[in-house]
Amino acid sequence: MRVGIIGATGYGGIELIRFLMTHPKIENVMLYSSTQDGKYIKELYPHLANEEGLMLKKLDLKTVASEVETMFLATPPGVSSEWSGLLLEAGLSIIDLSGDVRLKDPLIYETWYKRIAANLALLEQSVYGLSEWNEEKIANARLVANPGCFPTAVLLGLAHW
């Protein structure tokens, strides 16, 4: 599988790089950044010195589908809701690590996150990515909302009650 990460220079992105680089099904990882274009990840994070060829590049919606199949969005709240629709239109599958498409009700999202929710079309097609609850839906989803750590802990506890 060929994957990309938007937000690769943040904490979540860096941890994701470490996981993906050792995953047996990952063929290639592309890193996208709007502020660090042209830099190697090892320049910014010396502990990733073994990831020799990983260069950050600007995202080009015209060519991204030829570079990756799945895009991870390791972005702050509000950013992935802007990118998700564009990436879906480009033909990619998305795994969103922010909370932008986790909550189906825009009013609940806006109450808790204090920002405008993603558009309803995105919310309706997103699948909550807790595999213990939604394994079949996740397998066919193009937009997966990665669950947060606290809800995961509570829901897994309830699932095994």
The set of catalytic residues is: 149
* Phi/psi of residue 50, nearest 5 degrees: -70, -15
Other CB atoms closer than 10 Å to residue 160's CB: what's the count? Answer: 7
The CA-to-CA distance between both ends of the chain, in Å, stands at 35
Residues 73/122, Cβ–Cβ less than 8 Å? no
Q: What is the CA radius of gyration of the chain?
A: 16
Separation CA 81–CA 77 (nearest Å): 8
Token pair for 137: 């839906």
Q: Are 21 and 88 in contact (CB under 8 A)?
A: no
